[in-house]
Amino acid sequence: MKKIILGLMSIVLLFSCVTMKSEGDNVKDVELVNGNKSVILDNFVGSYCKGNYVWGLAMNLAWQEINNEILHEKLSLRTDDKSALEIAKTFNNTQFSKKDLDEESYYIKAGYGQETVKLINKESRKKFPKKSFEDLDIKLSPEDIISYAYFLKEVEYILPFEKKKVNFLDEEVAGFYAGNDSQRDIIRILDYKNNDKFIISIGLKNEGDEIIFAKGYDMKQPQAVLNRISKCDFYDDMNDRDIFEAPNIDLNYHREYTEVKGKALANKKFTKYEISQMFENIKFNLDEKGARVENEAVIAMRLTAMLPTELPKPRHFKLDKPYWIIMKRSNSNNPYFVLGVNNTELMETRR
């Protein structure tokens, strides 16, 4: 059975010594080279991939590692650029951490020079032989700093669903559905207002993780969905008249944080360092058997619910309009992956 593989790979922070340049003010949400923007929704530093909001935990982990192991304080930037300052502020004050993951699913390391790069490649590959990202190909001087975080998560549905063409925003796309009682039995209804507003989760073989779908909520407020999920202490079961359908998702995304590139550090002992790179790669695939998510991030800095007794009216749990996909540990209110699906750009269509 195909597994849901959630791999969020990492942040690499490189710092090198350089001659500093003057900084000018930039507009918040600077346009990236690939046409996407860095967008902070609530306390999530994410961005849009083809109009769909994407966020992964890895960047937070690497940022925290550089703070804890190298700087021994919160990273501070010497700039007036509002976008860069807002990104740094959000990463410095986030509630997300490695506590939102199990130790077996992540690897983090920070250090100096090329030897650290070699260790990262060797140790991460040994711990995660299924890692699909290439080894880091980064050349560092002995004074350069790198902070790296990677995580890979594999989960699978208790049962696979049936393949089917489904609709999303009135367009036919490849997807899957619950075709029998056994498949409906692994779906938990956390909240149901109507056919256009509900929250459900699908049972996984590993009960330590959860995959949740929320339709009908504000697509610019992921924290509001998480707050509602945290209050769902009771769940309903699907009945034999209920309908569940969902589209397949295929995301392969490269994102660069151009807002902070070239920005100097203001930390007292690191004023000769600047950020030279900050990017991430995210892969996410969802189908009738499960999903695969993998996320890699690099930052380089150079030195410079119950059944009723009456026959129920069928409820439709069709993910046919914008919705959230949230993955998290069962014992945590914080997610490790969030995807806001707004259009069919990540789906297989007949176009």
For residue range 292-307, what is the model confidence (pLDDT) as tens digits? Answer: 888 888 787 888 744 4
pLDDT of residue 32 exceeding 50: no
What is the percentage of the chain residues whose pLDDT exceeds 70? 87
pLDDT at 36: 53
For the full predicted model, state whether its pTM sits above 0.75.
yes
pLDDT of residue 341 exceeding 80: yes
pLDDT-derived band at 40, boundaries 50, 70, 90: very high
pLDDT at 151: 87
Cα 148 from Cα 62, distance rounded (Å): 5
| Cβ neighbours around 165 below 10 Å, total | 14
- Residues 221-242 have a mean pLDDT of 93
∠ CA 134-137-138, nearest 5°, is: 145
pLDDT at 29: 39
118: CB partners within 8 A, 6+ apart: none
Q: Which of 283, 347, 286, 289 is nearest to 320 (CA)?
A: 347
What domains appear along the chain, each with residue ranges and CATH number? 4-155+250-303 (no CATH), 162-248+307-341 (2.30.39.10)
pLDDT at 350: 61
Q: Which of 298, 337, 261, 321 is nearest to 46 (CA)?
A: 337
pLDDT at 10: 45
| Cβ neighbours around 350 below 10 Å, total | 8
Tokens of 173: 């796309």
pLDDT-derived band at 255, boundaries 50, 70, 90: confident
Residues paired with 291 in a beta bridge:
286
Which residue bears the tokens 């969030």?
Answer: 338
Contact in structure between 168 and 247 (CB atoms under 8 Å): yes
pLDDT-derived band at 23, boundaries 50, 70, 90: very low
Distance of CA 219 to the CA centre of its chain: 15
pLDDT at 310: 62
- Residues 51-73 have a mean pLDDT of 94
What is the percentage of the chain residues whose pLDDT exceeds 90? 67
Which residue bears the tokens 């804890």?
Answer: 68
Report the chain's mean pLDDT, rounded to a whole number: 86
pLDDT at 277: 82
pLDDT of residue 33 exceeding 70: no
pLDDT at 311: 64
Indicate the pairing of strand 323-329 with strand 249-256.
unpaired
Residues paired with 44 in a beta bridge:
41
* Of the candidate ranges 218-222, 229-233, 308-312, the one whose mean pLDDT is the lowest: 308-312
Q: Across the beta sheet with 171-177, what order do the strands follow?
A: 162-168, 171-177, 243-247, 316-318
Q: Give the up-direction half-sphere exposure of residue 309: CA atoms within 13 A in the CB hemisphere.
A: 0
* Of the candidate ranges 7-11, 104-108, 190-194, 228-232, the one whose mean pLDDT is the lowest: 7-11
pLDDT-derived band at 314, boundaries 50, 70, 90: confident
Distance of CA 328 to the CA centre of its chain: 10
